[in-house]
Structures are given as C-alpha cells and as structure tokens.
Amino acid sequence: MNELLMPAGSIEKMKYAFAYGADAVYLGLVDFSLRALRKGELIDESNLKTAVEIANSLNKKVYCTLNIFAYDKDINKLYDSIEIIKDAKPHALIISDFGVYRVIKNNIPNIDIHISTQTNILNSQTVKFWQDMGATRAILARELSYKQIEEIRKNCPDMELEMFVHGAQCMGYSGRCLLSDYMTKGERQANQGNCAQACRWSYKLLEETRPNEYFEIVQDDKGSHIMSTKDLCLVHHIKKLCDLGIDSFKIEGRTKSLYYVSAVSKAYRQVIDGKLDSVTAFEELKKVGNRGYCEGFFLGNNDSSCYSYDISKGLAGADFLGIFQKEISENTYELLIKNKILLNDEIEIITPNYSTIARVKKIEHTRKGEVDTANTNDEIMIEFDCNDNSWKQEAQYALARTKGMKEF
C-alpha cells in the first residue's frame, strides 16, 4: 500500500488528517521536534499516548519525530522522556542524530526507526547502511530526481522508502541551514526547531565601500526574496511513484492550518485511490496557502523558476471561512468562524468525500441575535440553503471556504 503521511501539529489536526484520508501522521514532542509550535493543542509528553490511542482506534499510525540536532542537554532530556515514549508506543520514531539513535536502540530496542531526511539520504549505500543498523525506513533527501529515486528503489527492494511530495521547501540542503541562527544571533536555531524563516525575508544589496547605499537586487515594490523557494507539488507524478513502489508519500506542514491539512490530504488521497485526476487535484491544491508550486529537483532541472522572488507568505485561492462545530437543527449549524461570512454569501462546504455550494440564509449570534455578518473567531449559528445534502453524512468534519478560485 502507498501510505499518505500527513503532518499533525495538534491533536485536532491529527483527527482531521485521518478523517480526510491520511494513513499515518507524524508529530513531534516539543523538545525534540524541528517544528517548535507555540499555540494550539500541542503534542507533548502529556498527550502523546492519547494521540497514539486515537490513531489505533482508527487503524491508523503515529510516527513521533525526535529529529533535532541534539546537544548533550537534549540527550539528557531524552533520557527523562524515554519511559513516556515507551509507554505511549508510537508506531515509529523519526531520527536524524546518531546519539539519539543510540539512546533509542539501547532503551526501546524493538521500536521501528525511520531515518529523517535531515541525514541527506542520497544513494543506495546510505539506505543499506541504515538498514544494516536496524532502521525500518529511509526518508529520502528532497534533492533527488526521479531517476535517482528509481535507482535507489531498484537497489534496495526490501527497505521502506518515504519521500516528500508536497509542501514548503527549505533553501538549506535537506533542511540544514545556519541562516536563521546567524541572523538572530543564535536565538532562533533552525535545527533546534526554532527557524525564523530568514530565507523568506526581503533583502537589499549593500556594497561595503558605499555605506548606507542600498541596492535592490530585484527592482520592484515587494523587495527581494532571493532565497524563498516555491512550494513542492508532485501530485502529477503520484501514479508513477505508486508504480515505482514508494512506500510513503509525505506532506510538509505541521505549522499549517487545520484547513490546509484537510484539503491537501483529501486531494492526495483521491489521486492515490484513483478517484481524482491530477489536473483537478492540482486546482484543489491551489486553494490552500502556497508560494507558487514547482517540482523541485524531481525532474532534474531545478532552476530559478523554483524560487518565489516576489512573495514570502503563502497565498490561497480560497479563504478558509469556518469549522462546523455541531448541528443545531436540520439546516442550521454552529461554526467557529475563521474569516468573515456575510448574509446571502455563497460558500463551499467540503468534507472528506463531498463538496457542495451553499447559500448563507441566516446568521445568528448567541448574544446579539440575528446579524448580517459572522466575524473571525466568533462561534455563530448559520442556516444554509443547499441543494445537495450529501455532505451532511460527514458534517462532523465539515469545513467552509469561499466559492471558486481567487486570482493573484
């Protein structure tokens, strides 16, 4: 089976990832993950076991990331967490550091270990090395082309291979970057989970013999985002990768929204299952935040077209409007509003298997009564007028977004 592996920045996002088609999620303990999240229902030592139990109840899997570049202080923290990890029983641990690997093998010898993309797995011998060391899966470097991946698969037929197929890319090699460390004077260390995303900043050129004379590298009003890469999107190549025998398709995005996780999971799930063609799926993927899409190194021709010179933040073709909380009556639901909704707006309701257009017939605020506007972060009751009610079968995981596609 070709596994769809989604990010889970929180328990809630994990549940939606599973509902929208993920076979497994990867999540990180705060102290050992390359995504040090700061808000939401974070995954930590207190709820890791709960996350795994939820996954088990759905016949899904949880992979726990321990892939920071570890110092001795981090190793000491890891020793303190060993029993918690052992008790939680995640289905695998994702590791990059040799010291972390040694601690885990000595203390939890029977757990599956996946070798992180941070170790720069670029060739068959590296895959075999980790296989000899007892690892069960290799997560391939993003810098590989299809031809190189094909060669590794041929030479390593009995090792699980995982690869990134979608999401933000880092201008550092396989994520190894010191730019954030340098620009923040060591306060935001990228390989400790605190990347400041300095590659997304706008830069000007200063010639050292001309102090205070700054030159635009790209002459426009948006600055010069010379290191900001476009997002990876390999949805057009999923069928070929399935045939090649890639075991797991990985999506980047533990800091992305619940809507991002849901919509991207749905698009790739339906392509993997043959329910949606890649052209239609690509249009769906444009509706979530992205910096423009490219195919990275996959076709062997990574060039300037893979960089987003004019923007640093992702733009979405559709606005995420709200999360359905509960049914109030036949056509009325309570929503947590994420972006403003107006009376009589036509919106799109999406669920794991359905999509439909609905009109906002009535908006009611718990204190103000009937209103014309549902504002961000309000919990609002909305009555919908909708011709197709198939989505109601999955209303528990229904989301609302704007109708159609915005142009930029």
Q: What is the pLDDT of residue 394?
A: 97
- Residues ≥6 apart with Cβ < 8 Å to 385: 331, 358, 359, 361
Q: Are residues 364 and 386 in the same domain?
A: yes
Q: Tell me the backbone φ, ψ of residue 313, rounded to 5 degrees.
A: -105, 150
Q: What is the pLDDT of residue 334?
A: 97
**What pLDDT, in 10s, does the model give residues 131-175?**
999 999 999 999 899 999 999 999 999 999 999 999 988 767 666
Nearest to 358 by CA among 311, 314, 325, 395: 395
Q: What is the pLDDT of residue 307?
A: 67
Q: Are residues 60 and 127 in the same domain?
A: yes
Task: Please give the distance of CA 12 from its chain centroid, rounded to a whole number.
Answer: 14
For residue 210, tell me if it sits in a domain.
no
Specify whether the CB–CB gap between 68 and 99 falls below 8 A.
Answer: no
Q: Are residues 245 and 356 in the same domain?
A: no
Q: Are residues 257 and 383 in the same domain?
A: no
- Residues ≥6 apart with Cβ < 8 Å to 273: none
Specify whether the CB–CB gap between 104 and 111 falls below 8 A.
Answer: yes
Task: Please give the distance of CA 50 from its chain centroid, rounded to a whole number.
Answer: 21
| Domain's final residue, options 271, 306, 341 | 306
Q: Are residues 75 and 150 in the same domain?
A: yes
Task: List the domain range (segments joined by +) for residue 17.
Answer: 3-169+229-306
| Domain's final residue, options 306, 333, 349 | 306
For residue 311, tell me if it sits in a domain.
no
For residue 215, tell me if it sits in a domain.
no
**What pLDDT, in 10s, does the model give residues 197-246?**
887 787 777 777 888 877 656 545 555 566 678 889 999 999 999 999 99
Q: Report the distance separating Cα 136 and Cα 115, nearest Å.
A: 8
Q: Are residues 337 and 235 in the same domain?
A: no
Specify whether the CB–CB gap between 337 and 399 falls below 8 A.
Answer: no
Q: Are residues 344 and 369 in the same domain?
A: yes
**What pLDDT, in 10s, does the model give residues 101-141?**
999 999 999 999 999 998 999 999 999 999 999 999 999 99
Q: What is the pLDDT of residue 381?
A: 97
Number of Cβ within 10 Å of residue 57's Cβ equals 9
Q: Are residues 253 and 335 in the same domain?
A: no
Q: What is the pLDDT of residue 321?
A: 98
Number of Cβ within 10 Å of residue 313's Cβ equals 11
For residue 65, tell me if it sits in a domain.
yes
Q: Are residues 138 and 26 in the same domain?
A: yes
Nearest to 130 by CA among 141, 145, 142: 141
pLDDT at 62 over 60: yes
Nearest to 92 by CA among 68, 118, 112, 106: 112
**What pLDDT, in 10s, does the model give residues 253-268?**
878 899 999 999 999 9
Q: Are residues 45 and 94 in the same domain?
A: yes
Q: Tell me the backbone φ, ψ of residue 154, rounded to 5 degrees.
A: -65, -40
pLDDT at 46 over 80: yes
The residue type of 257 is S
pLDDT top residue among 313 and 28: 28
Number of Cβ within 10 Å of residue 131's Cβ equals 17
Most confident of 85-94, 180-189, 287-296: 85-94
Q: Are residues 393 and 251 in the same domain?
A: no
Please state the domain count of the chain: 2
Q: What is the pLDDT of residue 182?
A: 61
Q: How big is the chain by its Cα radius of gyration, in Å?
A: 22
For residue 127, tell me if it sits in a domain.
yes
- Residues ≥6 apart with Cβ < 8 Å to 132: none
Give the residue-averaged pLDDT of 365-381.
94
- Written in H, E and C, the secondary structure of the chain is CCEEEEECCCHHHHHHHHHCCCCEEEEECHHHCCCCCCCCCCCCCCCHHHHHHHHHHCCCEEEEEECCCCCHHHHHHHHHHHHHHHHHCCCEEEECCHHHHHHHHHHCCCCCEEECHHHCCCCHHHHHHHHHCCCCEEECCCCCCHHHHHHHHHHCCCCEEEEEEEECCCCCECCECCHHHHHCCCCCCHHHCCCCCHHHCCCEEECCCCCCCEEECCCCCCCCCCCCECEEECHHHHHHHHHHCCCEEEECCCCCCHHHHHHHHHHHHHHHCCCCCHHHHHHHHCCCCECCEECCCCCCCCCHHHECCCCCCCECCCCEEEEEEEEEECCEEEEEECCCEECCCEEEEECCCCEEEEEEEEEEECCCEEECEECCCCEEEEEEECCCCHHHHHHHHCEEEECCCCCC
For residue 377, tell me if it sits in a domain.
yes
Q: Are residues 129 and 246 in the same domain?
A: yes
Residue holding tokens 């010179």?
Answer: 309
For residue 280, tell me if it sits in a domain.
yes
Q: Report the distance separating Cα 25 and Cα 44, nearest Å.
A: 15
Residue holding tokens 């995005």?
Answer: 253
| Domain's final residue, options 280, 306, 332 | 306
pLDDT grade, residue 408 (50/70/90)? low
Could you tell me the CATH number of the domain that includes residue 123? 3.20.20.70
Tokens, residue 58:
């759905």
For residue 23, tell me if it sits in a domain.
yes
Task: Please give the distance of CA 110 from its chain centroid, rounded to a whole number.
Answer: 28
**Angle between helices 72-88 and 98-107 in degrees, nearest 10:** 40
Q: What is the pLDDT of residue 218?
A: 54
Could you tell me the CATH number of the domain that includes residue 357? 2.40.30.10
